[in-house]
Structure 1
Amino acid sequence: MKKMLVLCACILLPLYAVSAFASDGSWDQVKKNGKLMIGLDDSFPPMGFRQADGKLVGFDIDAAEEVGKRLAIKIEWQPTAWDGVIHSLNAKKFDCIWNGMTITEARAKEVAFTKPYVMDGQIAVINFKEKRFKGLSDLKGVRVGTQKGSSGLEAVKKLPTAPAALKEYEDYPKALLDLEAGRIDVVVIDNVTGRDFIAKRPGKFKTVPGMISKEPFGIGFRKDDRDLREKVQLTLDKMVKDGTMKKISKKWFAEDITNPKKF
């Protein structure tokens, strides 16, 4: 765990340190446009997802809308395929990625992250009636599913035994449908999202005890957009300090998982 925290620190510090460079105009442009365009996978509860009426809701939605309110700009959401979200960001289809995005060394080469705002991890979800798996070490010769382009792909590599088969899905709901139908044995998924699916489908799924990995969430920006990233970061810092992030966290998770001291 200590080694992981040191690694995270080494990756993150140069990414969210306050810049001493001249203004790059990124915040000025967003302010001029009057809106911050955010890319996301809109089927990722409880971070960002659609209600039955089509309304976009979730932890990240509430947090971003509050940032927009404080900066006097509108938040505009741009649903996009997760496996191409970084390419879309750097192609300037939106201004940032705010959607439970795990900070990884590979991603840090392509985007600049804020400080972590949530600590999450990867878990293994199985069919509720499954009795073979008492712990992660029991996941031998299994068929695993996870989302394309997700940190779940890296987590699969950390399983004690390589899977017999690995299937990548456009989104987690499709993976869970295959799990329920018995076409795969395990879904590797973010802890907060997996537990949300389990809570909403009682008697369908359960978790294998243990966490495959622990991962910090950050907001991703283009590397050149230092001003915009710092403006959002400073606003988030104020929201942590005044208790707003804690309030939003308790609404969606029933506990505070945004405390920076935990990281």
Structure 2
Amino acid sequence: MKRYLKLLALGLGLSLLLVVSGCNDVKKRADTVDTWQQIEQKKRVVIGLDDSFVPMGFRQKDGKLVGYDIDLAKEVFKLYGITPDFQTIDWSMKETELRNQTIDLIWNGYTKTDERAKNVAFSQPYLKNEQYLVSKKSQQIVNDSSMKGKILGLQSGSSGYQAYLDEPKVLKQYVKEAIQYDTFNNAFMDLDADRIQGLLIDSVYANYYIAHKKDPASYRKENAGFASEDFVVGMRKGDKTLQKKINEAFKVLKENGTLERLNRKWFGENVN
């Protein structure tokens, strides 16, 4: 029996060692391998997104994928003769999907943060964003302290959720309970049903979504008190060439007026 237990422990130890070694190998590849040549040869790049994030990337009623980031990605890779393949992912697993090479890029209202910089390389910023505290006007929530004793909704894996955790004195100290959602759309449904009283959400999403509701005037939007954010494209640290190509494309699209055209199409103004 003792011999069996020793063999079992040895087997488990070897299995754990193989798992750790495999994880280290995956991370090493992600941090060192430049995949641009493969992307260029295949003429295909895989972009991971949350397909419910209006107006950056979302599905219309007919199922067609549209949005600001969809248009921008297509314009970027058109310059290189490459077709973007947009893949819906679990947003809370986006960095894992990137590291495991299931996707090549995270591009969907993705905020640059110090925490994400530990594992992900970023493009140059292309759009500003803020975190809004959204509520129904009937709740009379005018600032973060108005959330005292109330329930807040957040999206799992979002920059707003991370800011909420990292800066507890801004909003967290007042909130009675925080509920995580897989999408902002589901959170809005609970807000409308009064199951939550406030929603911490990206300003670009809030502005677009509320503007398309039947009664936009029934909502209140307040700056949540966190610092403004930069939207960027996320990629593996080893993809230096891909990073360079995207940054160069942003410069071209700004100079030829494409960025301004997309801004006016999706936001009604040139926000850059």
TM-score (norm 2): 0.82
Indicate the residue corresponding to 1:33 in structure 2. Answer: 42
Deviation at 1:108, TM superposition (A): 0.6
Matched, 1:241 2:255: yes
Whole-angstrom distance in 2 between the partners of 1:25 and 1:222: 9
Matched, 1:108 2:120: no
Deviation at 1:206, TM superposition (A): 1.7
1:162-183 C-alpha deviation (Å, 9 max, x unpaired): 3100000010111111111111
- The code of the aligned residue for 2:234 comes to G
Indicate the residue corresponding to 1:167 in structure 2. Answer: 179
- The code of the aligned residue for 1:206 comes to Y
- Local SS of the residue matching 2:157: coil
Structure 2 counterpart of 1:88, from 81, 97, 104: 97
Contact in 2 for aligned 1:125/1:188 (Cα 8 Å): yes
Whole-angstrom distance in 1 between the partners of 2:233 and 2:199: 25
Specify every segment of 5 or more residues in structure 1 that has no aligned partner in the other structure, as ranges. Answer: 1-22
Counting matched residue pairs gives 235
* CA RMSD after TM alignment: 1.6
- The code of the aligned residue for 1:236 comes to F
Whole-angstrom distance in 2 between the partners of 1:89 and 1:25: 13
Contact in 1 for aligned 2:131/2:223 (Cα 8 Å): no
Matched, 1:68 2:77: yes
- The code of the aligned residue for 1:86 comes to E
Write out aligned runs for 1:83-162 (5 A). 83-130=92-139, 132-156=140-164, 157=168, 158-159=170-171, 161-162=173-174
Whole-angstrom distance in 1 between the partners of 2:124 and 2:61: 33
Indicate the residue corresponding to 2:197 in structure 1. Answer: 185
Q: Percent identity?
A: 37
Whole-angstrom distance in 1 between the partners of 2:34 and 2:239: 8
- The code of the aligned residue for 2:242 comes to L
Larger fraction in helix: 2
Contact in 1 for aligned 2:190/2:196 (Cα 8 Å): yes
Specify every segment of 5 or more residues in structure 2 that has no aligned partner in the other structure, as ranges. Answer: 1-31
Contact in 1 for aligned 2:130/2:223 (Cα 8 Å): no
Deviation at 1:27, TM superposition (A): 1.5
- The code of the aligned residue for 1:44 comes to F
Matched, 1:217 2:226: no
- The code of the aligned residue for 1:209 comes to E
TM-score (norm 1): 0.85
Indicate the residue corresponding to 1:7 in structure 2. Answer: none
